[in-house]
Amino acid sequence: MKEYQELGYEDWRDETGYGERFPNEGQFGSLVSRFSKEANVRSTHMAKRVVTARLAFHNFFQWLVKR
């Protein structure tokens, strides 16, 4: 919180990479909307798959940004 207050939102966002999370969330949200029945998180088994998918999307978009 101190860092956020000292830097202000824009500088904090750029320094921490927080602003890059939104494109990832949008893509994952689209996937969940398309496959909502298969992507529900009502079980531990499905939660593991959803977390794995989120990580895969995150890593893929990080790779695209840094290319």
Tens-place pLDDT, residues 21-39: 666 677 777 766 776 666 6
User: Alpha helix locations (H) across 1-67?
Assistant: 2-7, 9-16, 21-34, 44-66
Q: Of residues 22 and 66, which shows the higher confidence score?
A: 66
**Residue 60: how many CA atoms within 13 Å on its side-chain side?**
11
Tens-place pLDDT, residues 34-54: 766 666 667 777 778 878 887
pTM for this predicted structure: 0.41
21 Cβ contact list (under 8 Å, min separation 6): 58
